[in-house]
Structure 1
Amino acid sequence: MSSVFLGMSGGVDSAVAAARLVDRGHDVVPVHILLSDSDAGGARERVHRLCRHLRLPLVERDLRDLFRREIVDPFLATYRKGETPNPCIRCNERVKFPSLLDVASDRDDRIATGHYVRIVLGEEGDGLLRAVDRGKDQSYVLYRLDPALLPRLIFPLGMSTKTEVLEEARRRFGDLFDDVAESNDLCFLSSARRKALLRSIPGPIVDREGRHVGRHDGIGLYTVGQRKGLGLAGGPWYVVEIDAEGGCVVVGRKEDLFVRSVYALFPSWHRRPAPGEIFQAQHRYRTEPCRVRMDHVDDRSFSVTYLDRPQPVAPGQSLVLYDGERVLGGGVITKQEEGKTGA
């Protein structure tokens, strides 16, 4: 008999996802993946309590070494290059889903998580869709999933709102999650710890004309679009560029952040678009999508132009394209001059 291997973090979403799968009659096997040395908020103990409550067997996997190598080290290295990475996207692609696939060794086994996203399967092609709750939609961080994997995936929360999930958790598990805060920081690195690791060689902060306006404590502490924490007179100032080679942070006004054209590398497609097509594009996890025109696409890169208004994009983030509710794919935003070499 095939099983459903569910990634269980110890949070409310994966707990409700597990309970719903049990209600549907699936043979559910929770998988708890250890990614860091800290057990944030007693997550591991909650996983054990949930498995006892639902009478489910538990599989635990220690992937701390893999996570450090594939996620933490590249994350810090990217910041030191003056870019703004999104480790959740990389983790889903290289750690979480591959590890669940490894456990679900039988090809008939399914994989499930508590992500807010939907899957559609049919004659017109399988697709990854936005969740019903647009405020919790996580399709942006899952765009790099292999399209061939979609028929094996189950996302039990895709048709629900966060409010409905919280209410269901209260009915099913009582006060188990009352003191569990929603994560608003990196799951593996606090803001203070990140700053301590990235603090490095001080250097100048300059405006767009090259005039010296301040000093920084290491370029890894800054990201394009940042306004707070600059400590500069004559503001408001925004970080508009990070010159890793020159060791300086460039600041400007808010309007200096906005660009019309965006270049991206390392594309990953569910359906490869064609030049001239118009889609919705999202350049950060929590931004509203905007209309773009596909200008160029090849195996290594693509470029788009915003049709309605310029946007404040940051190198290192992903640009994800949508056709309505359906994810087309995307790539990693790079500097314009770098993108032109791939076009």
Structure 2
Amino acid sequence: MKVLAAMSGGVDSAVAAARAAEAGHEVVGVHMALSKSRDQTRSGSRGCCTVEDASDARRAADRIGIPYYVWDLSDDFHDLVVEDFLAEYAAGRTPNPCVRCNERIKFASLLERATLLGFDAVCTGHYASIRTDGPGGAPSLHRSRNMAKDQSYVLAVMGPEAVGRSLFPLGEYETKEEVRAEARSRGLGVSTKPDSYDICFVADGDTRGFLERHLGESPGEVLDEHGTVLGTHRGTHGFTIGQRKGLGIQQPAPDGAPRYVVDIDPSSRQVVIGAAELLSTRELVAGDVISFEPLEVGRQVHAQIRAHGEAVPARILEVPATSAAGPAAGVPASAVPDSADPAPAADGSLRVELSTPIRGVAPGQTLVLYDADRVLAAATLERRA
């Protein structure tokens, strides 16, 4: 099988490419140049897509013995990931750029180019597993055995078609040290390279500063839940639901309890803060649903809203028409008689009820549903019900 191995310059993608080659595939390595300014060097664990990273990927490919190329995808990355990030914050939402990058760059732009060049699959160093149940069964996306590094959450938006054309060789490793040890045994110089973290295009880690530089200032008021003005701010894009620090207020709450951002309204330029209990919810509503299999109202699942957050037991209450399965699709399960044949959710939303309340749910976050360790669906959160 002809395999295009995405090589970031880190240890994970290098070991993944080596294992794909060892498995007998015809492997070609490619480094995706995503930054428009690539003359910088990495600072510890911050930054990516630097000249240093491209050089590390080239040395790894040479050691593995595979061809290697650099593809300039910086325009795609800027238009589809960075601009989306800015637009979402400007709209008072909280996006996850890693989710968008996996969806639109690594498993859209990259896979499209790979297909045009005659490759059968794309290989990456993500921590997730792909399994096929029985002969002729459809491949499904599962969590990695290394739960501390599991990336199935950010990969869920790739959808079933892309899963069927992807390889994740690191999914069965239990620890990162096992991957580093294999890199050392293969003579790969990146075996000790630190992991990257934070938002890759905000190399200094100052997300608020990045947003202000690109979106400018748009002053407004900070209010409590009763409408009392407590302070001012320089732009709603500097806030996210659940935020506790940097609220710009001097007055403590009457009871002395911490206060959090509970609502953001870019149109009025108002940020509302309140007590922690105002953040709690047991129902989530999401749109733009990507299903790996038909979803059924009443089905018990686990719901996760952050990349490394806890998956909470939940029950599906509504499903969009394209995800419906069985006679109970689209209305609360408790309201459906055995003989009913209701219509699916009129607004195309996915709605789930959580077994226990969670806090800090923000529009724009990604909701992923699991059945044990198997991904069922991904969607974009619209609101708390």
Q: Same fold (TM over 0.5)?
A: yes
Q: Choose from 160, 166, 170 the match for 1:153.
A: 166
Matched, 1:194 2:210: yes
Matched, 1:168 2:182: yes
Matched, 1:9 2:19: no
Q: Distance in 2 between matches of 1:128 and 1:268?
A: 13
User: Residue 319 of structure 2 aligns with which residue?
Assistant: 297
User: Residue 331 of structure 1 aligns with which residue?
Assistant: 379
Tell me which amino acid in the other structure corresponds to 2:6.
Answer: G
* Gap change, CA 1:246 and 1:28, over 3 Å in 2: same
Q: Choose from 322, 335, 338 the match for 2:370.
A: 322
Instruction: Report how far residue 78 of structure 1 moved.
Output: 0.4
User: Residue 326 of structure 2 aligns with which residue?
Assistant: none
Percent of aligned positions that are identical? 40
Q: Choose from 31, 56, 69 the match for 1:59.
A: 69
Matched, 1:26 2:25: yes
Q: Choose from 236, 242, 257 the match for 1:219.
A: 236
Instruction: Report how far residue 122 of structure 1 moved.
Output: 2.6
Q: Say which SS state the counterpart of residue 214 (structure 1) adopts.
A: strand
Instruction: Report how far residue 333 of structure 1 moved.
Output: 0.5
Instruction: Report how far residue 38 of structure 1 moved.
Output: 3.8
Instruction: Report how far residue 91 of structure 1 moved.
Output: 1.6
Q: Mean Cα displacement is larger for which, 301-310 or 240-249?
A: 301-310
Answer whether contact 2:4 2:119 (CA < 8 A) is retained: no
* Gap change, CA 1:252 and 1:128, over 3 Å in 2: same
1:171-215 Cα shifts (integer Å, max 9, x gaps):
33465454x432221112233352432442111111111111121
Answer whether contact 2:9 2:190 (CA < 8 A) is retained: no
Instruction: List aligned pairs for 1:1-343, cutoff 5 A.
Output: 2-39=1-38, 41=42, 42-101=52-111, 102-105=113-116, 109-123=120-134, 125-160=138-173, 161-173=175-187, 176-178=190-192, 180-190=193-203, 191-192=205-206, 193-195=209-211, 196-233=213-250, 234=252, 236-299=258-321, 300-336=348-384
Q: Distance in 2 between matches of 1:54 and 1:81?
A: 46
Tell me which amino acid in the other structure corresponds to 1:94.
Answer: R
Q: Distance in 2 between matches of 1:3 and 1:94?
A: 22
Aligned length: 335
Q: Distance in 1 between matches of 2:20 and 2:316?
A: 40
TM-score by length of 1: 0.92
Tell me which amino acid in the other structure corresponds to 1:21.
Answer: A
Q: Say which SS state the counterpart of residue 314 (structure 1) adopts.
A: coil
User: Residue 341 of structure 1 aligns with which residue?
Assistant: none
* Gap change, CA 1:107 and 1:44, over 3 Å in 2: closer
Q: Distance in 2 between matches of 1:97 and 1:126?
A: 16
* Gap change, CA 1:22 and 1:108, over 3 Å in 2: closer
* Gap change, CA 1:259 and 1:314, over 3 Å in 2: same
Q: Distance in 2 between matches of 1:141 and 1:221?
A: 23
Give unmatched runs, 5+ long, in structure 2. 43-51, 322-347
Answer whether contact 1:85 1:316 (CA < 8 A) is retained: yes
1:65-90 Cα shifts (integer Å, max 9, x gaps):
11111111111010011110012212
Instruction: Report how far residue 116 of structure 1 moved.
Output: 0.3
TM-score by length of 2: 0.82
Give unmatched runs, 5+ long, in structure 1. 338-343
Q: Mean Cα displacement is larger for which, 233-242 or 322-331?
A: 233-242
User: Residue 327 of structure 2 aligns with which residue?
Assistant: none
Q: Distance in 1 between matches of 2:70 and 2:244?
A: 41
Q: Distance in 1 between matches of 2:237 and 2:216?
A: 7
Answer whether contact 2:10 2:190 (CA < 8 A) is retained: no
Q: Distance in 1 between matches of 2:301 and 2:138?
A: 18
Instruction: Report how far residue 325 of structure 1 moved.
Output: 0.8
Tell me which amino acid in the other structure corresponds to 2:352.
Answer: V
Answer whether contact 1:32 1:59 (CA < 8 A) is retained: yes
Q: Say which SS state the counterpart of residue 242 (structure 2) adopts.
A: coil
Tell me which amino acid in the other structure corresponds to 1:181.
Answer: P
Answer whether contact 1:198 1:221 (CA < 8 A) is retained: no
Q: Say which SS state the counterpart of residue 308 (structure 1) adopts.
A: strand
Q: Distance in 2 between matches of 1:167 and 1:52?
A: 19
Instruction: Report how far residue 238 of structure 1 moved.
Output: 1.1
Tell me which amino acid in the other structure corresponds to 1:113.
Answer: T
Q: Say which SS state the counterpart of residue 118 (structure 1) adopts.
A: strand
1:232-283 Cα shifts (integer Å, max 9, x gaps):
3315221111111110111112221111111001100001211111100001
Q: Distance in 2 between matches of 1:106 and 1:65?
A: 20
Instruction: Report how far residue 104 of structure 1 moved.
Output: 3.9
Q: Distance in 2 between matches of 1:174 and 1:332?
A: 39
1:136-156 Cα shifts (integer Å, max 9, x gaps):
110111112231333322110
Q: Mean Cα displacement is larger for which, 78-87 or 99-108?
A: 99-108
